[in-house]
Structure 1
Amino acid sequence: MASRTSRDVLGRGLAVLGRAIREQPRIFAVAVAGSVLFGSMVVGSAYVVGAVVGDVVVPAVARGSVEVGALALAAVALFGISVLRVAGIFGRRLGAGYMQYRLQAAYRRRVTRRYLDLPLSWHQRNATGTLLSNANSDVEAAWYPIAPLPFAVGTLVMLVGAVVSLFVTDWALALVGLAVFPALFALNVVYSRRMAPRQARAQRLRAEVSGIAHESFDGALVVKTMGREAQETDRFAARAGELRDALIAVGRLRGVFDPVLETLPSLGTLAVLVVGTVRLRQEAISVAELVSVAFLFTVLAFPVRAIGWVLAELPRSVAGWDRVRRVLDATGEMPYGDTELDSADPRPATLAFADVWFGYEPAEAHLPGTEVLGEVSFTVPAGKTVALVGPTGAGKSTIAGLAVRLVDPRAGTVTLDGADVRRLTAASLARTAALVAQVPFIFDDTVRANITLDRPGIGDDDVWAALRLAEADGFVAALPDGLDTRVGERGTSLSGGQRQRLTLARALAGRPRLLVLDDATSAVDPRVEAAILAGLRSSTAEPGAPAATILVVAYRRATIALADEVIYLEQGRVVARGTHSELLATVPGYADLVTAYEQAEVEQAEQRTYDEDEVTPPLASGLEIEVDR
């Protein structure tokens, strides 16, 4: 990959720049116009300075007096050129900056939109840190050469003008220019090819360092409780060290080439003076022409570097663009349809699975996939509560994800009120169905903001109604600022059960017609859980109250017993369905599993009681014990 990148980085980099120009042609034209104006004034200033020296300064020295009119005219000419150069710099920099930041903003939005379109299975195969790097540093790297690009294009125009003016002045001096300018281009091409693999490796390591940091911070609880601080520090330090070495390699190469690139124009100036002196003695050129050409080589040193800046950043741009394009070209999107369910319909929805098959794609193309569900068919009638029960890995959470279309089935259909969920619009699906996951996510914001999520039409009365149904109104009312209390990042100021009840209230505030609970009350006290589920069931019979069909992934016997029907799963297949009591009597595997769950719950309760009795006040004051408040 590195050798391939080094071979064609110039062509691929220019293709990326071409894409940028096609997307922002007007802004680029303004920036180039400013750069061309600047370049023209650079060439013009060289000949004005030559004329001033040859026609004003030298005669004044020879006469011993200064001609005021000629000196004033020279000053006006130099001032006018300086004003035009400033105008050119302003137009060039403003256009280049606007173009660069506009492209970065546009592609950050495109990458983010692509993330939202791609299925959950794709996200599961890509580290969060890498995805953050794609949307941030990779997008930035892809369009980094845009800043010097208009300057470089204007410099090319300036160089053409300079070469033409050299031939007009003297063929010998023009040959010096023809020797220096191609050498600069050749050196820049060699530099970019050497730099390509180094920049690509550095960009990849940036993403890996970001991924490790994100994973360590996200798993801070595990790192702290398992005493893995030193190991995580070493893991991060090792990859950060690799990034450091990669960036040093980039800097070392730049340190070798930059002085050479700076020296060539100076050598050209020296060569012009040597050759020019000979031509001056031969009376082939005048003093003014020699000064003009020497000054031209002097002022060209900085603009010519702009071409080197573009070529130097092309490897980084190509590396960033390849990583961005990997996201934009990723397959497996989940396009929404145009079917709208009646938004004014207050009745619970009917959920149906018809011969549904689902499997996760392999992480690598040559590896086999994982079959999770097969021939799954069942219906959750409107207004009913159905519990999904099964051992770990039976496919319960996958069914929950399919119900709200986090993923799509490989075969079969999932319907809401007879409409295939793949045909629904995103807005209609969001209004109709809501998922409450086992692991709650709370934003670093107020309680109110976490529940409303800026959804229109949800007032404080709706928030409190949802909190009451979720059995969360009591602890929210006791918070220092009530609904205006900030709960910290991921809700760190709340217990696990409180966070689960807030996410349940968030779902209920939208008045969904289908509510999917993926073990969403696992951290809640059993008595509180029973009250929540009983409230949800009874609310469907109350006029004006949120009415919802409920599909719940359940483990506790009390939760399962509240369901109208139980669906028992094993290895991704529906093994049995019926009431809790029917399955207890007829399905041995179901009875064994529920009994095991119940025994485990009893043991956990006994252990919690024992731990609370054993904890002394001094120790308890130094620990943050996660219990449902």
Structure 2
Amino acid sequence: MITLSAADTFRGLLPVLRPEWRGMLWSYAVGTASALTLAGVTILTAWVVGHAVVERTAPEPAWWAVIIGLVLLRVVLTWREMDVSHALAYRVLARLRMALFDAYARSVPGRRREHSGRAATVAMDDIEKLEFFYAHTIAQIGASLTLFTASLTTASILLPEAGIVVFTGSLVLASSALYWARTARRLGEQEQRERSDLSTRIVDALGALREVLAYGLSPQVVAETGAATARATAIARRRELLAQLVTSLREFVTTAVVIGVIVVGSAAAGVLSDTAQTRLSPAELPALIALALVGVAAVTDATATFTRLHPLVAGAERVSSGINRPPVVAVSDNPRQLPPGALGLRFRDVCFAYEDRPPVLTSWSMEVAPGAHVGLKGPSGSGKSTVIALAARLWDPSSGIVELVTPRGEGVSVADVDDRALREAVALVDQDSVLFHGTVRDNLLRGGAPRPDSELNTMMERVGAADWIGLDDDLGEAGVRLSGGQRARLCLARALVRRPRVLLVDEVTASLDPATERVISDVIADFPGTVLVASHRAETLARLEHVVEVAGAAPARPGSAPSRGPDPDRT
């Protein structure tokens, strides 16, 4: 059976599924009604067969009506149970994935040393397995326990000795899983770990496909993948053999219970002796046996289900860990709206460090006046991209304040701003910006307000993309059909379509040819709002009004950090 810690893990995900609790209860109710209906058909059939054989009496018409009604009810309930559980499964899947996505949105994986392959395994494989558990397995276990309770109670009323036999056998069946719990869970965790590592290897290989081909690593990748698959398969085979062994034990116990009920029932019916005192009619003995078999089978099903939950425990722990991951961006209890008009940026004594790494910024300050175009330069690792990310509030600083400022110098901390208002006012374009699967129009409007095609076409012309692609053209996954320069133009167009007041650009021109860099720089130079650009390209920085050097953890040099508007000495 699952341990208390495993039960706590499954229970820990229930708050996320609170809106689906009613559906879970309904699934349990329908499943229980279906199981009780089938049990009723089985027991009534055994009862009438017993009377037909022993007393040589034919079933009454009322019995046929009841049996036909129960069979029809069972058909309807079975269909309804499938309908309810499948609909609930899709909702559970959506709830868990949305909760995981929200957790990742609050805690950007890039700040931590995490692997996207493991994240993909959690989002796809683990949650897909858990959806069936919450949508069907819980209801199935509940229905089995309810059916066992009803069978045990009825058997005890009819013949207490039969109730004792059923209870004892069920206790042995339930205890059988405990003997193998530790081994089953260990094998389940090993299998899940091997499959997670396999997903990681595949993601790595697909993400570096050019390097794999260029360096002739294909045989090595295939061999490692095959070895990992073989290990996972071997563990699964061992787990299956263990399950078959336990199943054989349960079948033996079930047979023993049936024999025991036959013995005590026959004794009570006077079949084994010539005594005139009987507590049970011989004609009722088949029904009692069927009743005992229904109860034991329910315990067997519940115990087998519990045993199969072991591989899910590790997945549930990963999903729970992902959903409950600590946020890197705190949610404001009383969010503020931004004032209208132009906005600038102000960094005041900002400190920031990535997880388990030395600080990138220490007591770093800078101000960008509303409408100013400012560049950030410095060696790789100096913190340019970190400054851009903090301005976009992808992360919160360890200490210090990042503010949006008005022309009058009034500042509003980005941590206090309503998130939707912040995303409408501040747009980010970085070197790793991703285009989504879909058309150009879909990407330009992603997350923003509707815009007419005329405005979208105008923006496409501004970034120099109208000549080689149209709004209805499909981009493929992550814009795979486009070059780096083409992706950069569309990502910039997507940001500008939102009509932001602050434009943040991080190394967009780093690997572009001079002609594309010139186009991108021209568009940025024409932007009417505030611009903050991080770049190591002299050509890109030359188009900006002022340039600030970011010196890593050391404070910026006096006189170089503040930027309150255009620099009249810069040409």
Name the TM-score class by shorter chain. Answer: 0.7 to 0.9
CA distance in 2: counterparts of 1:387 and 1:46, whole angstroms? 80
> Match of 2:168?
179
Map 1:427-466 to 2 at 5 A: 427-453=420-446, 455-466=448-459
Q: CA deviation at 1:523?
A: 3.0
1:329 pairs, out of 324, 331, 338, with 324
1:198 pairs, out of 187, 197, 200, with 187
Query: Which protein is richer in helix relative to its size?
Result: 1
1:494 pairs, out of 471, 476, 482, with 482
Q: Mark the CA change 1:527 to 1:190 in structure 2 (over 3 Å): closer, same or farther.
A: same
Q: CA deviation at 1:372?
A: 0.6
**Which residue identity is paired with 1:478?**
W
> Match of 1:352?
346
Q: CA deviation at 1:167?
A: 3.1
Map 1:501-512 to 2 at 5 A: 501-512=489-500
CA deviation profile, 1:392-420 (whole Å, cap 9, x unmatched): 22111111211211222112222112221
**Which residue identity is paired with 1:553?**
A
> Match of 1:515?
503
> Match of 2:533?
552
CA distance in 2: counterparts of 1:576 and 1:225, whole angstroms? 48
Q: CA deviation at 1:110?
A: 1.1
Q: CA deviation at 1:478?
A: 3.3
**Which residue identity is paired with 2:495?**
A
> Match of 1:478?
468
Q: CA deviation at 1:99?
A: 4.2
TM-score by length of 2: 0.86
Q: CA contact under 8 A between 1:213 and 1:236: conserved in structure 2?
A: yes
**Which residue identity is paired with 2:307?**
A
Q: CA deviation at 1:442?
A: 2.2
**Which residue identity is paired with 1:53?**
V
> Match of 1:543?
none
CA deviation profile, 1:264-285 (whole Å, cap 9, x unmatched): 3233223333444454233533
Q: Mark the CA change 1:559 to 1:203 in structure 2 (over 3 Å): closer, same or farther.
A: same
CA distance in 2: counterparts of 1:440 and 1:287, whole angstroms? 79
1:341 pairs, out of 338, 343, 347, with 338
Q: CA deviation at 1:40?
A: 4.1
> Match of 1:612?
none
2:545 aligned with 1:564: yes
**3-state DSSP of counterpart to 2:435:** coil
Q: CA deviation at 1:300?
A: 4.5
- 246-255 or 106-115, which deviates more: 246-255
**Structure 1 runs not aligned, ≥5 long:** 61-65, 363-368, 540-545, 580-629
Q: CA deviation at 1:204?
A: 2.9
CA distance in 2: counterparts of 1:572 and 1:18, whole angstroms? 43
> Match of 1:609?
none
> Match of 1:248?
237
Q: CA deviation at 1:39?
A: 4.6
Q: CA contact under 8 A between 1:514 and 1:550: conserved in structure 2?
A: yes
CA distance in 2: counterparts of 1:21 and 1:315, whole angstroms? 21
**3-state DSSP of counterpart to 2:510:** coil
**3-state DSSP of counterpart to 2:226:** helix
CA distance in 2: counterparts of 1:205 and 1:77, whole angstroms? 53
> Match of 1:132?
120
> Match of 2:203?
214
CA distance in 2: counterparts of 1:330 and 1:491, whole angstroms? 30
2:145 aligned with 1:156: yes
TM-score by length of 1: 0.78
CA distance in 1: counterparts of 2:484 and 2:467, whole angstroms? 18
> Match of 1:616?
none
CA distance in 1: counterparts of 2:2 and 2:44, whole angstroms? 43
CA distance in 1: counterparts of 2:365 and 2:17, whole angstroms? 53
Q: Mark the CA change 1:420 to 1:75 in structure 2 (over 3 Å): closer, same or farther.
A: same
Q: CA contact under 8 A between 2:166 and 2:295: conserved in structure 1?
A: no
**Which residue identity is paired with 2:354?**
Y
Q: Mark the CA change 1:259 to 1:21 in structure 2 (over 3 Å): closer, same or farther.
A: farther
Q: CA contact under 8 A between 1:336 and 1:424: conserved in structure 2?
A: no
**Which residue identity is paired with 1:52?**
V
Q: Mark the CA change 1:311 to 1:465 in structure 2 (over 3 Å): closer, same or farther.
A: same
Higher-Rg structure is 1
Percent of matched pairs sharing the same residue = 25
CA deviation profile, 1:524-559 (whole Å, cap 9, x unmatched): 33244234324432x3xxxxxx51222222333332
CA distance in 2: counterparts of 1:209 and 1:576, whole angstroms? 52
**3-state DSSP of counterpart to 2:23:** helix
2:298 aligned with 1:303: yes
Q: CA deviation at 1:371?
A: 0.9
**3-state DSSP of counterpart to 1:136:** helix
Q: Mark the CA change 1:307 to 1:500 in structure 2 (over 3 Å): closer, same or farther.
A: same
Q: Mark the CA change 1:137 to 1:532 in structure 2 (over 3 Å): closer, same or farther.
A: closer
**3-state DSSP of counterpart to 1:281:** coil
- 390-399 or 433-442, which deviates more: 433-442
**3-state DSSP of counterpart to 2:309:** helix
2:67 aligned with 1:78: yes
> Match of 1:375?
363
Output the aligned Cα RMSD.
3.0
Q: CA deviation at 1:113?
A: 1.0
Q: CA deviation at 1:382?
A: 2.5
Q: Mark the CA change 1:110 to 1:287 in structure 2 (over 3 Å): closer, same or farther.
A: same
2:257 aligned with 1:268: yes
**3-state DSSP of counterpart to 1:431:** helix
> Match of 2:222?
233
- 175-184 or 271-280, which deviates more: 271-280
Q: Mark the CA change 1:447 to 1:55 in structure 2 (over 3 Å): closer, same or farther.
A: closer
Q: CA contact under 8 A between 1:436 and 1:517: conserved in structure 2?
A: yes
2:278 aligned with 1:281: no
**Which residue identity is paired with 1:292?**
A
**Which residue identity is paired with 1:59?**
E
1:37 pairs, out of 29, 33, 37, with 33
Map 1:533-544 to 2 at 5 A: 533-537=521-525, 539=526
**Which residue identity is paired with 1:117?**
R
Map 1:411-426 to 2 at 5 A: 411-417=399-405, 418-426=411-419
CA deviation profile, 1:157-178 (whole Å, cap 9, x unmatched): 3323323333333344334323
1:525 pairs, out of 485, 509, 513, with 513
**3-state DSSP of counterpart to 2:362:** strand
**Which residue identity is paired with 1:355?**
D
